[in-house]
Amino acid sequence: MHLDLYDGILTDTFTESLPIQLKLFMRLKYRTFSTLSLATLLAAALKLSTESNALAAPDPNWVDHDRNRPEPPVVVPGRNSTADQVGTAPSDATVLFDGTNISQWVSLNDGSPTKWIVRDGYMECVKGSGYIRTLQNFGDCQLHVEWATPNPPHGEGQGRGNSGVFFGFDRYEVQVLDSYQANTYADGSAGAIYGQYPPLVNVSLPPGKWQTYDIVYTAPRFDADGKLLSPVRETVFYNGVLIQNNVELTGPTSWLERAPYKSHPEKQPIALQDHGNPVRYRNIWVRELGKPGKKEFTLPEAQLDSYVGTYEGEIEVTREEHQLVLKFNGVKFIMFAESPTKFFAKTTDVQLEFLPDADGKVNRVISSVGEGGGGEGQKRIK
Ligand code: MG
């Protein structure tokens, strides 16, 4: 598109020596071409500015130095960790682990409480207990996470302090590994986008030392038919040093294979890997960078199952993997959790709020489409 636009401009200069009719024809042709290209560019920039934090051009909705343009929100910066003191999060971050409370993290598969342990301001992976994930979902974001591999070290290669930071549920891994004076394959070392991009440099500290990842994650986008519109992009700073510079992922990170993309919702949990090694984590926080919107959660399966049933008014609620599905008037809606009891659809303004009885059982739901809601709600039939 850029080339088309510049072609038009260059041709205007080039044609000065040509006969007038040819000049006119070319100007007409290329002017139209240029205008089209510009419109396409602007549309693309607008589309990008509304769909992700990635901007290809300044926002065309504002003129330069526009006095009416809102000022950026004020954020109080956090404090970096030092050898003696753990740091703090910026004021607009969501703190995912503060050293004491692991309640935002659950077992990856079914959302049940994790067996990872919390001790002395960190949490530690317990071998065989499984990956953990956040209850809240995140799309484009900035993630800060600190980790330490076991000291004294155990094992070799991929068996030495292996864990991982995953975006998109368990799809896209930034490798966590003891890579201090330790050998393994390059695209599996600390800071690698596993199996795809080795880190640019190895800035690993010795085992037992606290190390930091600051990661900028751009979620993939898919169209309604599940076709990939834009891939995952990641930038990673490891102990403050840039090691992944806006790389584009080929698909989910995987062992032995190059897995293709499969469509998934933009916002997904962030996960940490149980690779059988007691790797520790502390001071985890995240800043959402995407379009402002409702918070989204991936609730535990048992909680979702407590809402499954048929309610008055032909409301049928089922579960498909990690989400509730509403069937209403013959139309199916994928529902997203905005709280432990409230759900919304993204295609239509449909809302569900489940009302637990005094004994905790859910026998009523308030449903609304575009209007209404409130009141006693509809009773469960089965
Ligand atoms: Mg790993």
Residues 256 and 325 in one domain: no
* 136 and 280 inside one domain: yes
How far is it, in rounded angstroms, from Cα 217 to Cα 305? 31
Q: Ligand 1 centre from 360 Cα, in Å?
A: 39
User: For residue 233, which of 276, 176, 174 has the smallest C-alpha distance?
Assistant: 174
Residue 138 has pLDDT above 60, yes or no: yes
In-domain check, residue 80 = no
Cis peptide, bond prior to residue 152, ω within 30 of zero: yes
The greatest distance separating any two alpha carbons of the chain, rounded to the nearest whole angstrom, comes to 89
The answer to whether residue 266 sits within a structural domain is: yes
- Residue 335: the pLDDT is 98
Domain co-membership, 169 together with 231: yes
Task: Check if the beta carbon of residue 267 is closer than 8 Å to that of residue 139.
Answer: yes
Tell whether 99 and 36 lie within a shared domain. Answer: no
In Å, what is the CA distance from 287 to each residue of 108, 234, 236, 284? 21, 15, 15, 11
Strands 233-238 and 211-218: antiparallel
**Which residues contact residue 195 at a Cβ distance below 8 angstroms, ignoring those fewer than 6 apart?**
187, 188, 253, 254, 255, 258
* Domain shared by 200 and 345, yes or no: no
CA of 127 from ligand 1 middle (Å) equals: 13
* pLDDT tens per residue, range 48-84: 444 555 677 899 999 999 999 999 999 999 999 998 8
Clarify whether residues 284 and 306 are in a common domain. no
Q: What is the mean pLDDT of residues 14-39?
A: 42
331 in a domain, yes or no?
Answer: yes
Residue 248 token pair:
């584009």
Query: Distance from the CA of 159 to the center of ligand 1, in angstroms?
Result: 9
Whether 101 is in a domain gets the answer yes
195 and 216 in one domain? yes
**How far apart are the CA of 162 and the centre of ligand 1, in A?**
5
> Do residues 258 and 346 both lie within one domain?
no
Q: Please list the residues that pair with 362 across neighbouring strands.
A: 356
The structure's pTM equals 0.85
Q: For residue 86, tell me if it sits in a domain.
A: no
d(CA 267, CA 208): 33
CA 81 to ligand 1 center in whole angstroms: 24
Helix 2-14, helix 20-51: angle, nearest 10: 160
Task: Please indicate, yes or no, whether residues 135 and 185 belong to a single structural domain of this protein.
Answer: yes
Domain that holds residue 25: 5-56
User: What's the 189 CA to ligand 1 centre distance in angstroms?
Assistant: 9
Instruction: Determine the distance separating the centroid of ligand 1 and the alpha carbon of 230, expressed in angstroms.
Output: 25
Tallying the residues shown for the chain, one arrives at: 382
Alpha-carbon gap, residue 308 to 299, rounded angstroms: 13
Give me ligand 1 centre to Cα 274, in Å. Answer: 8
Q: What is the pLDDT of residues 282-323, one digit of tens each?
A: 999 999 998 888 999 999 999 999 999 999 999 999 999 999
376's tokens: 């006693």
146 and 205 housed in the same domain: yes
CATH number at residue 108: 2.60.120.560
Q: How far is the CA of 323 from the centre of ligand 1 (A)?
A: 27
| pLDDT confidence tier of residue 248, bands split at 50, 70 and 90 | very high
In the chain, the percentage of residues whose pLDDT exceeds 70 is 86
β-pair type (331-337, 323-328): antiparallel
Q: Distance (Å, rounded) from C-alpha 216 to C-alpha 225?
A: 27
Are residues 123 and 256 both part of a single domain?
Answer: yes
Q: What is the pLDDT of residue 72?
A: 95
Give the strands of the sheet with 362-369, arranged side by side.
Answer: 309-311, 315-320, 323-328, 331-337, 342-345, 350-356, 362-369, 378-379
Taking the alpha carbons of 183, 125, 281, 114 in that order, is the dihedral positive or negative? positive
**What is the C-alpha separation between 96 and 347, in angstroms, rounded?**
29
Region 144-167 average pLDDT: 97
171 alpha carbon to ligand 1 midpoint, in Å?
12
Q: How far is the CA of 170 from the centre of ligand 1 (A)?
A: 11
The DSSP element (H or E) to which 118 belongs, if any, is: strand 117-119
Residue 211 in domain: yes
User: Based on the structure, what is the number of domains in the chain?
Assistant: 3
What are the pLDDT digits (tens) for 82-114? 988 999 999 999 999 999 999 999 999 999 999
Report yes or no on 65 lying in a domain: no
131 and 30 in one domain?
no
- Residue 372 backbone class (left: φ over 0; alpha: ψ -120 to 50; beta: rest): left
**88 found inside a domain:** no
Question: 84 CA distance to ligand 1 centroid (A)?
Answer: 28
CA–centroid distance, 321 to ligand 1, in Å, is: 24
- CA of 254 from ligand 1 middle (Å) equals 10
